[in-house]
Each structure stands twice: as structure tokens, then as C-alpha cells.
Structure 1
């Protein structure tokens, strides 16, 4: 009888775990947004600490003005450079079809890839379908960004409250060890975000300088894209180089080769100079692990998985490394 009761209890536990896993899978997008909010709250909280020291404002109340100042600073930059960015993005979008036609002509003259291009054009979605999907995706992205921003502020206002709620999931005798693990994970994520921000900034500046020197149109827009794409390691830099190369092809093969050289130099500088200097203060992830993490998380979770692949991997490595013995 006792063994039957244990069997029934184990079956119920297994069913409950499977049900929770299924429920988590249904709300995986929400969970990813929560994780993004936590990352943003770490940024807000880290900036609120020096702000609180300077203004002598309580740390809890310093988060909101820091968030307002950060969002305001980003908005001011976009406002000041908005006209330039808008003009260059429009120029970029207008130049891409011309570059594509030029590429088709080059391939046609050389007898390479024409059939492949025609097949790609035949299966490509119509302009109306692209516009409809793009509008829907932009709206969803704006709503998601707003929720992440608000969630990040709430998490940063009372991090102790949410940490204590999370600790209640463990037995009381384990909570001290888990608290230390959470503290270590937070520190590793903060170090990763600082290093990533510096790397993105350097890549953007170097790309803008290089593209401006060789005279590639829309240099600022292309550099901004390279800066943002740097957040996704290995894959992002490759994707960011494609529009620049297509634009450069409109100016000639020599310009395209110089553009390719610029991106190679920028990425080599980031990989061999910047990243090694920053890795002393962050979790060092093997390149193979980073690459397959992007592939795995992207395959499972889509675009959000690709964007958050590296911080999710940092979280996993940090949790394993700091797990109580």
C-alpha cells in the first residue's frame, strides 16, 4: 500500500512538472520579455547607484529619474540626428534595389547564379504582404519594448522584493546559498552588459569612420546598424556587413572591396583587442558555445531568442559556475 501511494505521488509530481513545462512553453514570449526587463533593471539600478551618491537621493527613488534621463538622452540623440538618420536611411533603402540590380547584371554577365536569382524572385512575397507583415511586426515590437521598459523600471525600484519572492521557491535552509548565486549572476550579467555596450560603441564609431573615409553613402545609418547588430555575436556582424556591401557595389567593385576590408578590420579589432580587454571582468564564453547558443535559442524562441541568446548563455554559465556545492 505504501509503495502504491509513493508511485501515485511520483506520477502526480511528474505530471505537475510536465504541466508546468507546457505552460512555460505557452508563455515563453512573456518569459523572454521578463528576462529582458530584468536586464534593463540591472542597467537602471547600476546607474542609479552613482546618481544616488551624487544627489544624496535614496537609491529606491533614484531609479525613476535615472530611467527618465536615460530614455530622454536616447530621445535627444535621436532628435538631434533624426533628420540625418532619416535622410541616410531613405538613401540606403533607395540604394539597395539599385545595388541588387547591379549585382544581377554582374552575375548575368559572368553566367553565374542567374537561375537562382530568378527562383528567389519568383518565391519572394509581394510588396503588400511584406508591408503588412512589417507593420504588424513594428507594432508588436513597440508594444513589447514599452512593456520591457515599464517592467525594467518596476524591477529596479524594488529588486529586494522580487528577489525575496523568488527565494521563497526554495527551502529555508537553501535560501542563503541561492541568494549568493543570484548575486553572482547579477554581477556577471552587469559585467556582460557593460562590456557589450563598450564593444557596440567602439564598433559603431570605427565603422562610421571607415565607411566615411572610403565614401560609402549612408555611413551613419550603416554604422548604427553595425552597432546594434554587434549585440548578437558572430552572426550580427555578418548581417550588418551585407547592406554596406550592396551599397558599395553601386560605386564599383573597388569600393565594395574596401568596404569589406573595413568590416574585417573592425571585427578583428573588436575580437582581438577590445573583447580580450573586457573579458577580464565578464564571463568568458567559448566562441563555439556562443555560436550554437545563438542557433539553438533562435531556433526555439525566434527573434527574441537570437537577441537574448548571449545574456541567456551568460546566465546559464554563471548559474553553473556559482551553483552551491
Structure 2
């Protein structure tokens, strides 16, 4: 029979757990940024480990080499292709409205779309103005830039002193469980490192194939569209669809034949990625069932918003790595 003290203790523990989950939900955006910073740290630390393995230099020196190499590579890309990318991105944003109008005219949707826009404006709050919309966009851009800054700087801090943060996390576990927790952290870190490696290769291949194919078809802003397709590949299933939409709209301004060829191009690229690239990289990452990946993207995007959608796949990898006895990543 439970005593009053035991019941009170159970109730107190339950309340503490509920309060902890409620607090985590309130600061979920911050926790997602922390997770993104950890991903950056895992990637930097994995690259630094490779430098240590091949050169024998100290770990911190290897990390400096990796950071300088990444900064130099990005600087070289922007120096060589910055003007082209900037011009094509500007052209992309200038052409998309006219492409949307062409799409409506081609499929006789202008009246329907105008009616939907009028209904949306009528249902909007009376205080909603163009100025408030501009302010909202400005605030979102500022928040995105701040988030990127926090992720990059936080990732650098995590990568410089990983053992300090690791030991701090392990100190939360009972002493008799710390060895198991340490082994599980190693497994999670390895799974995330392998995921990032495989995902980077897939993004580069998809971006190159898409950009070259669109340029061959004569689609405007092919380089910008290829860059967008490569970045969108980070979000499986949903990302490729989102990347194809602006390409198809711009292709429609060129002609129906180019639109069909563009659609075929994106289908072929995704088939190459699914049937050739992913199987070759499968040994480099935790194997995620397609259905689990799809619904994980939808679930995290619905619950946690755009950041949750962006980080849905690595979060799923994290869950699988924690649930499985041992990561399937090749060491």
C-alpha cells in the first residue's frame, strides 16, 4: 500500500517532468538552434579529426585549419561566382512574378486566383497593411540572420571545447550510468557525422546536375535554381518538390516543351539520387525508412515550424541513433 509520502513524491516527480516538458516547449526554438550548432560542431570536429589522422597535427590546430579552409573556400566561391550568383538570384526574383502570371494565363486560373486573393484580403485583420507586412518580412530576415550567427558561433564554441560540454552533460547522469551514456553519445555523434557527410555529397551532386541540366535547357537563372535545388536537398522529399516549383514556373515563360523537359530533368535527378547516390552512401549513414523520413518531416515541420522542417532529418537520425543498440554508420 502506498504511503502518503510515496504518493506525494510520485506527484512531485510527475509535476516536475510536466514542467520540464512545458519549459522545453516554450524554448523549443532555442533548443533547435542549439541542436543546429551541435551539427556544425560535429561537422567541424569530424573534418578536424580527418586532418589529425592524415597530418598528425594537434586537434586545435587541425580545427583552425578546417575553419580557415571552409572560410577560404566560401570566399573563393563568392569571389569567382558571387556576381553571377547575385545577378541570377536577382533575375530569379524579378522573373518569378511574371512567371506566375504566365502560369495563371496558361491554365486559365487568373480569375480564380484573383478571387482567392480578394477573399484573403477580406479575411485579414483590418489593421493589416503593406507596411505591417514589410515589417514582418524585415523582422523574419533579421531573426534568420541572428539565428545563423548564433548557430555558427555556437558551433565554433562547441567544436573548440567539446569535452567540457560533453562532461557537463554526462554529469547530469548517475555515476553508474555515465559509461553507458558516454558510449551512447559517441554513437550519436558518429551517426550525425556520417549523416552530414552523406548529405553534403548528395546536395553537391543534385545541385550540379540540376544547374547543368537547366542551363542546357536554356532556363533563366539556371545557376541560382541549381544552387536552390542543392540546398533544398537537405530536406528530403519536401525539398526537391519546393526546388522544382520555381524552375517549372520559369520554364513556362520559355515554352511548354521546356516546362516538360524541366519536369523530366527533376524527376531524373531525383531518381539518380534515390537509386544510385543514396544506395552508395547508405553505409555512411543511419538507414532511415522512407515512410519514417516523410512523416518525420511533416511532424517536425508542423510542430516546430520552419526550423523543425529544416532539421527534421538530423533530428530523426538522432532519435534512431538513440533507439538502436549501435549505429549502422561505417567507422
Q: Which TM-score band applies after superposition, normalised by the shorter structure?
A: over 0.9
TM-score normalised by the chain length of structure 2: 0.91
Q: Does 1:121 align with 2:117?
A: yes
Q: State the partner residue of 2:39.
A: 39
Q: Secondary structure at the match of 1:302?
A: helix
Q: Residue by residue, what CA displacement relative to the aligned partner does 1:185-229 show, whole Å, maximum 9, x if unpaired?
A: 111111111100000000001001111111111000000000000
Q: Flag the 1:128–1:79 CA change in 2: closer, same or farther, 3 A.
A: farther
Cα RMSD of the aligned pairs, angstroms, is 1.8
What does residue range 158-177 of structure 1 map to in structure 2 within 5 Å? 158-177=161-180
Q: Does 1:279 align with 2:275?
A: no
Specify every segment of 5 or more residues in structure 1 that has no aligned partner in the other structure, as ranges: none
What does residue range 210-221 of structure 1 map to in structure 2 within 5 Å? 210-221=213-224
Give the whole-Å Cα distance in 2 for the aligned partners of 1:35 and 1:261.
36
What does residue range 1-325 of structure 1 map to in structure 2 within 5 Å? 3-53=3-53, 56-108=56-108, 113-122=109-118, 123=120, 128-322=131-325
Give the whole-Å Cα distance in 1 for the aligned partners of 2:40 and 2:15.
35
What number of residue pairs does the alignment pair up?
Answer: 319
Q: Flag the 1:76–1:137 CA change in 2: closer, same or farther, 3 A.
A: farther
Give the whole-Å Cα distance in 2 for the aligned partners of 1:130 and 1:294.
28
Specify every segment of 5 or more residues in structure 2 that has no aligned partner in the other structure, as ranges: 122-127, 327-331
- Could you tell me how far 1:245 is from its partner in structure 2? 0.4
Q: Flag the 1:305–1:19 CA change in 2: closer, same or farther, 3 A.
A: same
Q: Secondary structure at the match of 2:107?
A: helix
Equivalent residues of 1:63, 1:153 under 8 A apart: no
Give the whole-Å Cα distance in 1 for the aligned partners of 2:285 and 2:238.
21
Q: Residue by residue, what CA displacement relative to the aligned partner does 1:117-156 show, whole Å, maximum 9, x if unpaired?
A: 1233322687545433222211111111111111111111
Q: Secondary structure at the match of 1:250?
A: helix
TM-score normalised by the chain length of structure 1: 0.93
Q: Secondary structure at the match of 1:310?
A: helix
Give the whole-Å Cα distance in 2 for the aligned partners of 1:23 and 1:60.
35
Q: Residue by residue, what CA displacement relative to the aligned partner does 1:5-58 show, whole Å, maximum 9, x if unpaired?
A: 111111111111111111111111111011001110011111112333555432
Equivalent residues of 1:38, 1:155 under 8 A apart: yes
Give the whole-Å Cα distance in 2 for the aligned partners of 1:284 and 1:53.
27
